[in-house]
Amino acid sequence: MKALLSRAPGGPDTLELADLPEPSPGKGQLLVAAKACSINYPDVLIIEDKYQFKPERPFAPGSEISGVVEAVGEGVTGWQAGDRVLATVGHGGLAEKIVLDAGRAYRLPEGRSFAEGSALLLTYATTIHALLDRGHLKSGDTLLVLGAAGGVGLAAVELGKAFGARVVAAVSSEEKAQAAREAGADETIVYDRAPFDKDQSKALASRFKEALGPNGAQVIYDPVGGDYTEPALRAIGWEGRYLVVGFPAGIAKLPLNLTLLKSCDVCGVFWGAFAMRDRQANAAHVETLFRLWEDGRIAPRVTEVFAFGDGGKAIAKMAAREAIGKLVVEVGT
């Protein structure tokens, strides 16, 4: 089978389309013929050895797939060859076939494409965990979303609206602002690209405060980091919750006096660890996501589909922070 392999640490240009032995499912596993693999920011980091997990090389990046079950391992019930499936896999998704634990697989609903299926779980499951478990978002809250036109950003806009929040979406271009408005954002802010000097940082904080209103944001969803974090934190409301989701703009250093002045919480969001530690709670969230998807209140926005051999280009576009919505690689036909 073909796989897009990382043989040494480096950027997307180091990936190599090569042959690997075809895998077979073990006990409790499924063999899946991958049809689509969506690209997420961890794919940028993992091939550079900058992610929390460092797989043994060679490996294929790609943490989220959809496909068709080809074979079922010993002890697996409820699945058979031909079933359509979607799953998060950590890595290995940019390969024609992949073995995964049956417990990590979900049925791809009829009428949904493989591209859509590959673009659902990681962004929306991360976000529902962030907003409900870490941010305690409730109807009537004001939610500020940074990077609001990316995969997790649009998920936060949609889920924020589904849960009754007023959503202010912050993005880096008017094109991205339009995408956030189409996802339901009540108001948008177009900010400049970092780095910021002290005056620019204060000016951005003022823009956030003006958009959010006198009570600030009860929840701030930050998948961006870097120089955007402190201005956003300055706009948080009393006892607000600041959700740390990712760092494509860099890891921020916060003046902790701000947390005292607002009596606010800075909360880390690590969905993968949560999903492993509390499978029952994660499964309940996924059920909610499927229900919202069926009702049309959320919908993965796939904006570009790449050929298998161009998977590195998709990762490069993600690394450059040029993606709107989800980028998907078509692995099989």
Question: How far is residue 244's CA from residue 259's CA, in Å, rounded to a whole number?
Answer: 14
**What pLDDT, on a 0 to 100 scale, did the predictor assign at position 332?**
86
Higher pLDDT, 291 or 332: 291
pLDDT for position 51: 87
Taking 90 as the threshold, does the pLDDT of residue 316 lie above it? Answer: yes
**pLDDT at position 297:** 96
String of DSSP letters for 123-167? HHHHHHIIIIIIS---TT-EEEESSTTBHHHHHHHHHHHHTT-EE
pLDDT at residue 302, as a whole number: 96
94-131 confidence digits (pLDDT tens): 999 999 999 999 999 999 999 999 999 999 999 999 99
pLDDT at residue 209 above 90?
A: yes
Q: Do domains 2-120+300-330 and 124-270 have the same CATH topology?
A: yes
pLDDT of residue 53: 85
**165-188 pLDDT, tens per residue?**
999 999 999 999 999 999 999 999
- Which residues, in sequence order, are CB contacts of 103 under 8 Å at separation 6+? 28, 279
Domain ranges (residues) in the chain: 2-120+300-330, 124-270
pLDDT of residue 280: 94
Given the structure tokens 């391992």, which residue do they identify?
A: 73
pLDDT band at 23 (very low <50, low <70, confident <90, very high): very high
The residue-averaged pLDDT of 230-255 equals 95
pLDDT of residue 193: 87
Q: Which CATH number does 124-270 carry?
A: 3.90.180.10
Task: Give pLDDT, residue 322.
Answer: 86
The average confidence (pLDDT) of the chain is 95
- Residue 155 pLDDT more than 80? yes
Q: What local confidence, expressed as pLDDT, does residue 113 receive?
A: 96
Instruction: State the CB neighbour count (10 A cutoff) for residue 307.
Output: 11
Rounded to whole angstroms, the Cα distance separating 77 from 58 reads: 32
Residue 333: pLDDT above 80? no
Region of 88 on the Ramachandran plot (φ > 0 left; ψ -120 to 50 alpha; else beta) = beta
| pLDDT band with cut points at 50, 70 and 90 for residue 9 | very high
Does the pLDDT of residue 321 top 90, yes or no? Answer: no
175 by Cβ neighbours in 10 Å (0-12 / 13-18 / 19+) ranks as: exposed
Cα separation, 15 vs 180, in Å, equals 32
In CATH, the number for domain 2-120+300-330 is 3.90.180.10
pLDDT of the residue at 52: 83
* Arithmetic mean of pLDDT, 5-29: 95
What band does 236 get if pLDDT is binned at 50, 70 and 90? very high
Q: In the predicted model, what is the mean pLDDT of residues 134-143?
A: 98
Tell me the average pLDDT across 285-294.
97
User: Which alpha helices (DSSP H) does 183-320 contain, by range?
Assistant: 198-212, 229-233, 257-262, 271-277, 279-294, 311-319
pLDDT tens for 46-93 read 999 988 889 999 999 999 999 999 999 999 999 999 999 999 998 999
Q: In this predicted structure, what is the pLDDT of residue 82?
A: 97
